[in-house]
Structures are given as C-alpha cells and as structure tokens.
A and B are shown apart, each in its own frame.
Chain A
Amino acid sequence: MITTPRASATPRRRVATALLALAAMLSAGACSVANSGPEASSGAANTVRVVLPEEPPTLEPCDASLTATGRVTRANITEALTERDPGTGQLQPALATKWNQDSPTEWTFTLREGVKFHDDTAFDAKAAAFSIDRTVGSKIDCNVDGYVFGGIELTATVVDASTLKVKTAKPDPILPLRLSFVEIVPTTTSTTGKVREPVGTGPYKIAKWDTGRSLRLDRFAGYWGKAPDFAAAEYVWRAEGSIRAAMIKSDEADVAVGLAAEDGVGDAAVQFPNNETSYLRIDATKPPLDDIRVRQAINSAIDRDGLVASVFAGLGKPAGQLVPEGVTGHSSAIQPWPYDMAQAKKLIAEAKADGVPTDTTIKIIGRNGIYPKAAEAMEVVQNSLIEAGLSVKIEMLDVNAWLEYLLAPFPKNLGPTLLQAQHGNQAGDAAFTMGQIYGSKGAQSSYGTAELDDLIGDAEQASGEERQTAFAKALEYQNKDVVRDAVIAHMTGILGLSKKVTYKPNAATNDEMRLADLHPAG
C-alpha cells in the first residue's frame, strides 16, 4: 500500500516537530551539562589543580579520618589543636600552642590567640570544647569518634578564652595525639547533622562546590599562619586512573592522586610510602590454621620480594609487621619472613604427620581493588601455598561483602580462611593497630591470646619510651608466638605531579594533602 502525502502529513509533522524541539533543547545545553555552572577556570594563574579519584562525600570535619574527606578538609579548611609531623612522628602545636598533663586523667591546653574562623568569628576555648563535644560520643555518626576514640569518655571544660581543660574517664597517655583528629569548628556548626561545607580556621576556605563536578578553595586572607603560595585550589575527580594520569600529561591538572604503575603517568610519577601495609589475616581458630606450624609455613611460602618486584611493579617494601617505621611501637627486631619453600613444605609435612587436616580447603577471601593487582597477588599466594602442600581457593569480593569477613561477628559456618587485608595507621601510634587487629576482642580480630591481650593492655597504658618498648614487645610476641598474620609489604603510592608544581609527598599524603606544602615550580 502506498500512503498518500495527505494521509502521512500529520504524523510526520508531529515526529519532525518533536525531533526539532529535542534538538533545540540539546543544542541549548550543548555547552554545559544540566544543573551545572561553568567548571572552575582551568589553569588560572596561581591556582593549583588537583584531580582526585572520587568526589568527597562531604567535607564534614568530624569525618576527616575518611580518606576522601580528610585529604581535602584536614589542614586546609579546618585545623585541630595539635598536629602530627608525618616525617618525625612528633606532635606539633596547631591551634593549641602548648599542653600539659595535670594528672593521669587531666590535660590543660593553651590555645593560640588571634585566630579567626572563615566567617570572621574568633576561635576560643568555647569553640574548642564545642568541637570536642560534637565529635566525641557524637550522635551524628562521626567517623573520627569511632576511629580515634572508640568509646573513650572525655569532658572538655572552658577555663578562659585561651585555656581548655580536658578530662578523661580513664588515664589516656595519648590524648593530645587523639585530639589531632578533632577538627575545630565554630559553635554555630550543626550538632544534629553533618555539614557538607564547613567553616574552619585553615589557610583555605570553600569558595564554590559545584556538586558532581568541581570544588574550589580560595586562600583565606585572615589566616593566622604563613599564607600558602597558591591563591586558590581547584579539585576535580575522575574515577579512572589513566584519565587522571592523562590530565597531568595534557596540562589539565597539576596533581593527580591515587595512581597505579599501569596508569602511565610517566616522568610525572612521584613515589611515596603511602602508610598502608598489605597482609593476610589468618583465621587461627579453625584447622588446619589452628596449628602454628601451618601458619609459619604460610609465612615461609610467600615470596615477598618476588611479589613486590613482579606483581606490585617494585612499588612496595617487603614487610614483617603492621606497624611501620615512624609509628610508635614499631619493632626494628622484626624482619620480613624469609622465603623458604623447603621449610614451608617441611612444616606442612610435620603437621600432616601429626594428624592436622592439611588437605582441608582454605579459602582466601580477597577484595577487588584493595590495592593495585590485588587479585593477581592472591593468585601468586595461592600458587605458593598449593606448592607448600595446602589446598587453597580464592574468592574475590567487593568492599561491603568483604567487610562482612573483616569485622566481627564473622559469618557463621565459615571454614578456614585467609583474609586479604590492608592496614594504615594514620595516627602514628600502635594503639590504633594492636587492639582492634590483634586483641582477642578486637573488631577486626579473628584470633588472639590472653598473653597478647595483656601485652597490648600494658602498652596502651604506658607513655613515652616505655610505650614504644611495650608495643614493640607485643608485636614481637605476636610475630613469634602467635603468628596470626602473614604480613606482605609496606605499600608505595604514586602521585602525578606536573612540572608547574613542587611537592614532597609523605606518609600522610593519601589522607591529608596540605595545599600549603604545594609550591609553584621555579
């Protein structure tokens, strides 16, 4: 049948009109994406451009222990009373100029005078006490509360405008260190919900957050300290590492965070120890892993040098403990387990001869993307353990499914497992590692012993050199008599840096990138 022009005119006109209308709508928006203003000016003079792997969920200061939040907020927008030097591990004055322990449970902080918030209000002891109350024991799920304080009770009292007293229910020798995580905000900050755009005392203030696209910080003219070199910072985020690397190469960004070797940033790559240690947590409650010889064999069978060289492309350093150098409690006596397949085979054979069911299948619970080449690393480990005489399978999971295995209570009816994990100690004290990971009741602990609990408990109450020695002793005991882990490597991060900027990354860079440490090149 042939349709006549008359019969076809109406529907055809309708379709054409609709198409024209759609085309007009699209062309109207062709220069900008819906609901967005122009992206912050690219490469504007005296602006440093940073590309992140993800957009900060919020800039809430009490969530500053979250990497995605902390690396923008901490020391840039907000500041704490104290700050830890990531190089030396020493605690430095920040908004508090000095502090003194009056008794085992009481501390006095002398606050810096002449400091202003971005909203021009004055920083004083009232703001400091308010910020501590808002963060500790919070009803707004502050990450810092769980990460740093974990149920510790404390009371902050204003003595005068520049003096603050903090009292703890139990003696806490590292309270000033814990307070380095409490970012100070004005008393006008919400106590019923998290804030996306906080006001702080830092060298930069939020100029514009175009959600989903970019974030711009401007230098705070009223900053109490030395003014940073860059007048502004512009953050964008790209999930794909190769795109972040390409942005450095095409001069769209000055700093690219969280790169991997295969992202191809080339000469612009800067390597740095990223404060993370990869390890396998051994579930020592179930056979055959409940036999220490099997756990020792697992450690002997892993070729750490080979893993670092081939799988991690040289980005890392074989490790023997979760507490790296520079963190209080690190033991220089602990070395990485030497690779000795013959010894591993011998230990497994001995255990088998004594009736240990070494042919029971052990499951490696891995996490995709926990570090570059995570799955490949587990395949290498699996191969080594099979060679040593064990039966091993791998199951790779996404973050939340993996967390079900990381955190107690663990799934029921679980067989023997090795959990692929990574630990970073941002705080610089072994207390933030030992209790939760090695204590028998720790949130991430699959096994512990009363002796180790006692050693950890003693170390937590100690201070100064005694604290260092006590934690090191606990780590050495773990490594020799418990062998709950197979620690693999202290990991290395890669930062992309354009030729326009100089910056020396450090162990804290992943969690806290201080814009004031970035300088124009030349």
Chain B
Amino acid sequence: MLTFLRRRIASSALPLVVVILGVFCLARLTGDPGNLYLPLSATPEMRAEFAARHGFDQPLFVQFGDYLTQVFRLDFGESLRTAEPAADAVLRAFPATLQLAGATMILAILGAVVVGSWAAYRPNSVADRVASFTSTTAASMPDFWFAIMGVLVFAVALGWLPTSGTEGAAAWVLPVLTLLIRPFGVLVQVVRGAMVTALSAPYIKVARSKGAGEVRVVFGHALRNAAPPALTVAGDLTVGLVNGAVVVETIFGWPGIGKLMITSILQRDFAVLQAAVLVTAITIFALNIVIDACYALLDSRVRQGVTT
C-alpha cells in the first residue's frame, strides 16, 4: 500500500509543476494589470512606477524565479486588489468551498446508493423507471436555471428560505440542492448500472443460498462489488466541486474558492490566482490519491496489481 501511495504522489508532482508554470505564464499573457489598477488618466510615469513596484517590469523568467523562491518560503505575495496577503484570501475561501463540496457529495452519494440500489433491485419495475427518469432529469438540469428558480420560488414567492448568504442552516439548502442535483442524477445511474450487474452475479446466488438477508445481500455483498465504478465517478464529481462551484458561489454570494479565482482572473490579481490554483491543485492531487487508496482498499486486485 505504501508503495502504491509513493508512486501516486511521485506521479502527481510533475503535473503540479506544469499547472503552476502554466498559470503563471498564461496569466501574464492576458494584459497589463496596471491598466486595471491605475486610473485611465494615469500618466506613463505612474504606469512605469506601478510596474516596477510590483516587479512586472522584470523578464518573465526572473518573475517566475522570484515567485518560486517566495513559495518555498510559504510567501504567496500580496493581493493587488485588496492589499492583503494572498494566502489569507485563499485560506479564508477554500474551507467554505470544501464544506459545501463535502456536504453535497455526502448527500449525493448516500441518496444515489439508496435510490440506485432500489432501482437495480427490480430492473424494469415502476421503481426503476421512476428512478431512471428522475436521475436523467436531475443530471440534465442546468444549475444556473435551477438556482435562480429556487430563489424565486422558495425565497421570493414562498419566503421559506433566504435568497443567498451563508448565515444559518437554511442558507445551505439552496446552494447544496443546486450543487447536489447533477451529481445525484449521474451517480444514481452509475450505481444502478453497477448494481444490476452485481446482483446478477453468481456470488449473490451463493450468498442467498447460504441464507443471507436481502439487506445484507444488497448492501453487504452487491454494493461492495459495485462500489469501485461509483467511487471513480464520485471522485471525479468531487474534484469538480473542489475546483470551485463558480455558479453557485456567484449566485448565492458564497465566499468560496471558485468565486475568488474568477475575481482574481478578471482583476489580474496574479498573487491570489497563483495561490488559489496551487492550493486547489494540491488538494485535488491529494483527493485523487485518497480516491485511489479507497479503490485499492475496496478491491485487493488493485493493491496487488500495483505492488507486484
């Protein structure tokens, strides 16, 4: 297992460097931040002073060298926009996104396991058709539309929930529902498909012939063997959420990393953008390793395949 983890960490290092370098270079190709941070009537001298003060007058490789040196000292620089340390902005926003993504995926996975297993238990039954219809609809739902409609119905018309914000449990309902709906729909379909295959396998018949109860057969034997494909898809969906739920964060005023990154890109706030991408990339690589480890834990063939 340790060999497996070592290999996964080593193979993640190079993509991480490529991501950092790519973001650094591409961000600087998108225009001079001085145009945004200085008034339109600023004199050329003011623009030159601004560039010199922030090191933008240096060659790109010098800027990158300075950046790497700072990163090794855990100094991500200062936000051009807010004049606060970039790390503070990122470390404030990232947990908010992690909480939202975590709550969403736990609910999506639990819901999908129950509904997907229920549908697979009796294929082509009414329950199966209802589950398939619901999951297909959910997977196709545009999140922007769902969010706005949710606000108009539940906040404006009915007054049951707040339109946006972060205060109190009620404020979580619409953002989580909006984020939940697509992963739930996709996962129900994946779980259903995997469970149909698993429930028709010979070992299920053996388990039943040994007198195992149906709950144990479905959730103990079949689900365990159907879990790897669902885990892979759930991991992929989680990575998407950790990367920033931009639409939801923007609509609901959720102070997360997706909104921070978009603002940093639009405002050419390089320090914050670089810090946000670095922290997100490390988290995503870590998350992928955790997912692979779970996969290996669930399937001994994966462990053996890697270690032999």
Contact = CB atoms under 8 A, between A and B. Distances in A.
A193 B98 CA distance: 32
B interface, size bucket: 35 or more
Given A65-B39, A243-B163, A246-B155, A34 B98 contact: yes
Nearest to A408: B44
Contact of B203 (A1, A36, A193): A1
Interface string A435-452: 110000001100000000
B84 interface: yes
Interface stretch (B55-63, B188-196, B251-259): B251-259
B106 A400 contact: no
A39 B165 contact: yes
Interface stretch (B88-96, B125-133, B275-283): B88-96
Given A194-B83, A239-B253, A403-B31, A39 B39 contact: no
A492 interface: no
B232 to A, nearest CB: 15
Interface in B202-229: 203, 206-207, 220-221, 224
B297 to A, nearest CB: 4
Interface in A246-265: 246-247, 249-250, 252
A141 B42 CA distance: 10
Nearest to B294: A15
Where chain B touches its partner, the secondary structure class is: helix
B68 interface: no
B36 A146 contact: no
A143 B251 CA distance: 30
A150 interface: yes
A77 to B, nearest CB: 17
A482 to B, nearest CB: 20
B39 A243 contact: no
B99 interface: yes
A139 B49 CA distance: 8
Contacts, number: 181
B235 to A, nearest CB: 13
A518 B103 CA distance: 40
Contact of A35 (B40, B95, B259): B95
Contacts of A443: 40-43
B152 interface: yes
A462 B159 CA distance: 59
B148 A143 contact: no
Given A12-B224, A240-B250, A147 B41 contact: yes
Nearest to A406: B40
A150 B43 contact: yes
A2 interface: yes
Interface string B68-91: 000000000000011110000001
A521 interface: no
Given A2-B207, A252-B163, A26 B250 contact: no
A365 to B, nearest CB: 13
A155 B164 CA distance: 49
Contact of A399 (B95, B106, B266): B266
Contact of B163 (A12, A25, A31, A246): A246
B102 interface: yes
Contact of B106 (A23, A36, A57, A246): A23
A1 B152 CA distance: 52
Contacts of A355: none
A25 B102 contact: yes
A139 B54 CA distance: 12
B257 to A, nearest CB: 11
A238 interface: yes
Interface of B: 30-33, 35-43, 45-46, 49-50, 53, 81-84, 91-93, 95-96, 98-99, 102-103, 106, 148, 151-152, 155-156, 159, 162-169, 172, 203, 206-207, 220-221, 224, 250-255, 259, 266, 268, 294, 297-298
20 contacts: A2-B221, A5-B220, A26-B99, A26-B102, A30-B172, A31-B168, A31-B169, A32-B166, A34-B92, A150-B41, A211-B255, A236-B253, A238-B164, A239-B251, A240-B250, A247-B164, A403-B35, A406-B35, A407-B40, A443-B42
The 4 closest A-B pairs by CB, nearest first: A34-B95, A212-B255, A146-B42, A147-B39
Given A57-B81, A246-B152, 9 more contacts: A22-B106, A32-B166, A150-B41, A211-B84, A250-B155, A250-B163, A404-B31, A404-B32, A444-B41
Interface of A: 1-3, 5, 8, 11-12, 14-15, 19, 22-23, 25-26, 29-36, 38-39, 42, 57-58, 60, 65, 139, 141, 143, 145-147, 150-151, 193-194, 196, 211-213, 236-240, 242-243, 246-247, 249-250, 252, 398-401, 403-404, 406-407, 432, 435-436, 443-444
